[in-house]
Structure formats: C-alpha cells, structure tokens
Structure 1
C-alpha cells in the first residue's frame, strides 16, 4: 500500500453517542445567541424538537424554525428559507434531519453570507470564504452530510442535481446520536445504509492520484489516500456487520449505533476521496424516476463493482477480507466473493435487483448514459475508465438484473 499521501477534513467538533443530542444547547451557545433550525414538518412537530428547543432556551439561545425542507432540496426551497429568516440574522444554523435538512442548513448558511446567483458556487472551491457556522444533527444513517464538504441541490434549470463542494461547507459541529435513528423506518434504514456503504466502498476504490504538492488545495476530492482508507475500511466493517440487524430489528441500539458510526466514517472517507460510478449514474436515474438517492445507489453498486473489478481486484479483495467474506484464496476469488456478498446483503434488506424495478425505461438509457458523463469529478475518480459506452453496458446489466 502506498503510504505517502493523505488528506483529512472534518468538523471542528464531532460528538458521537446515544443521548449526545443533549449537548446541542451548549454547543450552539458557544457559536452565537441566535440560531435558525432547518428541519422538516414531521420533526418540527415532534417531542424531539421540543426537547431541543428547551435545551437551546436554557442556554439563552433564541431560535427560529424553518420546517419546509423538501426531499431532493429544490433551489426554490433554499431561497424561501433565506428570505423568511434573513432579518433574524442567525449566528448559527442547525440542520436536524436527513441529508436534505443538513444540506439546507449548509446552503442557507452560504446565502446568509454571500450573494446570488447560487450557480456561481456550483463545482469545487467556489465558496469565497467561511459561512455562518453550521451544527448538523442527522436522524438517518446514510448521507454523511454532517461531516462532508458537499451540498447537493435540485436546480430546475439543470437536468440533474448539482453539487457545491468546498471545505467551507463542512459543518462546524456534528452531533451524531444513534437514538435519533431508532424511529427510522426499515425501508429508509436500508437504502440509507446502502448509500453509506457505497460512500465507503467508492472512496476506498477511487483512483489514486500522484501526490502533487498542493493537490488538496486544488481538489476537494483527491482520490484514494492513506487517511480516507482507514475511515472507509472501518465504515464497511461496521455497516456490513450491522445493517441487516438495524433494518430488521430497528430497536437494537447497538446495531443502530454501529451503522450510524459507519455512516459517519464513510462521510469522512468520501469527503476527501470522493465517490465514483454508482453516484455518477444515480443522479440521472434519480432525475428520470424520482426515486430516492440511496435506492438507486443500492441497485447500481453491485453492477459498478462488477465493471470496475478488473481495474481494482486487489482493492476489492482487501474489502472482502475486511468484512469477513474471504480470509484466504486469491485476490481474484476474494474480490468476486466480496461483490457477491454485497449483492446478497442488499437483497436481504430489500434493495431491488434491477433498475427496471425503479421504472427506468429502455428508451431512456442512452440519455442516462450521456448525463452520467456530465458528473465529471465522479467519472474521473472511477478506478476504471468510464465513457458513454461503458456506462451504457453497466445500465444494460442493471436493467436485466443479471
């Protein structure tokens, strides 16, 4: 293993453990006296929200709540939140919920400091400087947004979702309380966990670039490196061993804790290494079918692994041995056993085996392949060279379920 290059970016504070949501009041008060909470309607009307509001009040933090977060985070919703709460002049933004709530907090923080148009920030390193401090509190275990430099939004002027990637977007504080995932439904637990596993797998198998001085100041996602590898391997071990139990025995706090820790580790891994083919292809699949991100990722990952294996056989073998699938044999045997094990796990937790089950149409495959190539940073990060023809071959297999 090449050990000469690594990049680590993370929140200033990362607090993990059951019950740690009770640290919010003190954490927020250390950053300011006015807090804006970004969440959704369900959470805004829950006992959890009242508990958090009481804690903030006890620490003399005044609060406004925006409860209009929508799935897939449309740009119009971000502007609505900013317009409603700009005069409040929040000193800290708190994102509570799934990935969209945390990404909303990041985007509102950005637009509270810097002007429109939002499109000027699309891509990497376009955020001009620090944003309003963000506290991220996930209630699902999947996106890793609580620790990543990314916000993904839906812009009606674009065919697929777009990303803003900058170290400035990393939340100041992440509070990861596994108790908040206990009420997460089985189906959402499954697809969120599949997404988290894919984050770790794709970070670990991403292309390894020559360690040019200053690369981390020029690329948000530098590819496979010695620091992201450690988080990625730990994430895959935790998620593979515990996801099925978290899905099927949702009250098991140990399994929930392991999957949430794995998801956070995966976020730390891909936040510097980046992701690859499954994510590049999911964006247009999701746009075409209006299906959840993690669902598309779960369907696609085994097929992208089959495509990539010839370029990263030893890497996939290391993954297989780390998750306990194959302790011996050749790299070839271990790598293919690992792919089969991932496919089997996803099937056991209810992930569909084909894109056809997501209502993808044969006549849309060429367009999906072409749009996938538009995710340049993901395509370039893939361990095997991707072009429109090879993406189409992955799609064909994913449609057949073979």
Structure 2
C-alpha cells in the first residue's frame, strides 16, 4: 500500500543512533555491556578488531580481558590497516570467516578499526564479496539480506564518528578512489566512548581527526534540507536524509564544543578535560551527520586521499604515502563553503560565529572560510592541496574521483557540476 502523501513534497525525516555509554572509565564496563547484548550466554564468541598501534598501547587486550572476565570467548585480530583498503578489508574478512562464526564484533581503535569491523560483520553474516556491497558506480551497491551480529565500537581517536554511522569507508586500490559501503545495518549497536583512551593520540592525528569532526558538523548543518524533493517511498529512504531539526541540534552543539576545546587538545594532549570535550564533539557530530549526511568536502576528500603519491603526514605510523581522511576533508572545506554560502547564508554565518564568536559582526561569504583557515593554520595543517603534493595538472583526475561520490554530492545544498568542483579544487591549492 502506497503512503498517502507519496505524491507530495517530502515531509518525513529519519533518525538513528547507537546506544551510547560515555565517560572516563566507560571502557572498563565493556564485558558487562557485551554480555548483556548477548543475553549473558557463557562462552559466546566475540571478535575484537584493532590495529597494531592500538594493541601495542594495551587498549585492545584490556578490552579482550574484560570480555573474558564476563564469561565470553574473545579473539583479537590486530591486522587493521590505517585508512582501510579493499585489500586490507578482504584480509580481515578472510581471517574472520576462517575463525567464525562470531556472536558479536567489538572494534577498538579509530575509524579504520571501526570501519574494518563493519566490513567483517557484514561479510561474515552475508554472502558475496566486498565489491558486491561497495557504493555504485565503484561497486555493485547490494544491500545485505541477513541481519548482522551486534557490533560494539570503542573509539580511541576523536574524529571519524564511525561509531555512530552507517558508513564503512575504504580505498579501492585499482581505481585509485576512496569510497564506501552504506546501509543502516552497518550502524554499530553500541558506542562506548571513553575519553581516557584518546590521551595517547598525538598532535598531528588530533588535528586531522578534529577537522573531520568539524566538517561533519558543518556539512550536515549546511546540507540540503530533508524537505527538498518529492516524497519518498519507505524502501527508497537512505540514511543521509538531509539537514533536519534533530541533526541540526547535534551539529550546532558539536561546533560550540569544538570552539572551546580543539586548539587546546592539539597543543596540550594530556589535558583530559579538552580530550573529553573533543570526544563529546565527535559523538555529537556523528549523531548529526550520521543522519543528515555530508557533502562537497567529503566528496573531494575521497580522491585526494585515494590518489596521493608522496605525502607523509606528521604523527601517523604508516610508511606508505597518505593524506589522512580528516586532513583530506579539511583541505577543500574553506572553498567548498564559500561555494555553498548562497544556499543558506544564515546557516554559514551562524556556524562561523559558533566557532569564532569574535567574528559576529562580519556577514560576508568569506567569514566561514576565514574562520576555517585561521584554525587550520593554528593547528599546523598543510596550507592547501599543493602542500600535500597536488598541482593544477591533477585537477582533472581529482574532479573525476569527486564526481563518483554521487551519494555524497546528492546531499549538497547546491547542484554541483564538474566545473564547480574544478573551481573549488583550484582555489584550494594554496589557502594561505
């Protein structure tokens, strides 16, 4: 039966979020929490997914020990690749399929660990291979047929918001593009956010990941409104439904919290109060963009990260060239928001004033870009695409990669052409 308002303008938005446990010491209760999710079944099998650095810091094994103390059987996989690729995800899935079945999956780490855990959960409960589920046009965009087992995310970085979202992000190596898998079933069952686990996050990672928080909030707040377009059928609704009152609330709060904590967290990494505020901001922003969506800066970020040649960021452990995701997002954000300003001047100005209250009397399209540039300089991010190895000659390839991200560009508040993206990229070569 068709909904009665099917022919009219959209009037419905959706909202989803994981169960949340937040605060210093929250990770110490992980055994109890997972046991409750599994009905206190003694010996239930749990796969802990992490990366070598997080395991070396002791966080993953501490989680596994608490699971065992709660009567569960825990196995640790520590092969997560920083900035996951199709190859690294396939290796993780092969490990999990060989050792399964699993009753639950627990991710301990940053977005890379959480996204890897999502892929593992998806492909140990459903048939097919990774590219069956990757977003079109890169992959085949198949939806999972079977429910996933409970996934609990324990973030050790503040930025990705993956603990709140329905998205798994990866680099597809042979296509030199970053893309994702998107489906409501990928949203973690529970997020356990313990700010104490982020104290070991170095300044460079804090800066890049913090810009991811910031852009999550800004992009969801300035996304096209959920009322844009015709009424959808229930089966056609997607997790990214556009700006809406509930997502707006979380995004605005994330911006306000960031304004007081971001610079301190980068400069004084042992400041637990600043770390707690950054963790709150990441959680709030995840609850916002995980429903409203992101748009141009994130769409640009995928080819920027996927086509990097020789850039090595400070404080990242990988020997491979990489542009961290949050950094890739930030590099075109000032010019992207200059482009989107005309769609909602009041939102762009309000966001800028939340981040920099002293700028309250400036009402120009350049206000938000300037606030972002000032922040990026203060936290020592690269000064534009040129600083991470790109040149004017790369614009065509980057535009091609961006235009593949139609799932994200559909959330942009203005229609975006190839020429528009090219202009944003050229203007982002040197930001200061």
**TM-score, normalised on structure 2?**
0.87
State the shift of 1:256 in Å: 0.5
State the shift of 1:49 in Å: 3.0
State the shift of 1:155 in Å: 2.6
- Asked if 1 retains the 8 angstrom alpha-carbon contact of 2:247 and 2:292, the reply is yes
The correspondence for 1:310, drawn from 342, 360, 379, is: 342
Secondary structure of 1:30's aligned partner: helix
Larger fraction in helix = 1
User: 1:262/1:62 Cα in 2 relative to 1: closer, same or farther (>3 Å)?
Assistant: same
Tell me the residue number matched to 2:333.
Answer: 301
Tell me the residue number matched to 2:62.
Answer: 51
- Asked if 2 retains the 8 angstrom alpha-carbon contact of 1:189 and 1:246, the reply is yes
- Asked if 1 retains the 8 angstrom alpha-carbon contact of 2:50 and 2:60, the reply is no
Tell me the residue number matched to 2:323.
Answer: 291
- Structure 1 residue 238 and structure 2 residue 257: aligned? yes
State the shift of 1:82 in Å: 2.7
The correspondence for 2:34, drawn from 13, 28, 45, is: 28
Q: CA RMSD in A?
A: 2.0
State the shift of 1:47 in Å: 2.9
Contiguous gaps of at least 5 residues in structure 2: 1-10, 39-43, 136-140, 309-321
Distance, in Å, in 1 between the alignment partners of 2:358 and 2:225 is: 24
- Structure 1 residue 40 and structure 2 residue 51: aligned? yes
The correspondence for 1:99, drawn from 104, 111, 135, is: 111
- Taking the TM superposition and a 5 Å limit, the aligned residue runs for 1:241-260 are 241-260=260-279
Paired positions, count: 397
Deviations 1:266-306 (CA, angstroms, capped at 9, x unpaired): 11111111111111111111111131111111221111111
Distance, in Å, in 2 between the alignment partners of 1:82 and 1:337 is: 46
Tell me the residue number matched to 1:138.
Answer: 155
State the shift of 1:217 in Å: 5.1
- Asked if 2 retains the 8 angstrom alpha-carbon contact of 1:7 and 1:228, the reply is no
State the shift of 1:214 in Å: 4.4
More displaced stretch, 214-223 vs 170-179: 214-223
- Asked if 2 retains the 8 angstrom alpha-carbon contact of 1:6 and 1:226, the reply is no
Distance, in Å, in 1 between the alignment partners of 2:33 and 2:236 is: 29
State the shift of 1:329 in Å: 4.1
Tell me the residue number matched to 1:356.
Answer: 386
- Asked if 1 retains the 8 angstrom alpha-carbon contact of 2:105 and 2:117, the reply is yes
Tell me the residue number matched to 2:177.
Answer: 160
- Asked if 1 retains the 8 angstrom alpha-carbon contact of 2:61 and 2:76, the reply is no
- Structure 1 residue 339 and structure 2 residue 369: aligned? yes
- Asked if 1 retains the 8 angstrom alpha-carbon contact of 2:59 and 2:108, the reply is no
- Structure 1 residue 80 and structure 2 residue 91: aligned? yes
User: 1:314/1:397 Cα in 2 relative to 1: closer, same or farther (>3 Å)?
Assistant: same
State the shift of 1:96 in Å: 0.5
User: 1:41/1:316 Cα in 2 relative to 1: closer, same or farther (>3 Å)?
Assistant: same
State the shift of 1:326 in Å: 5.3
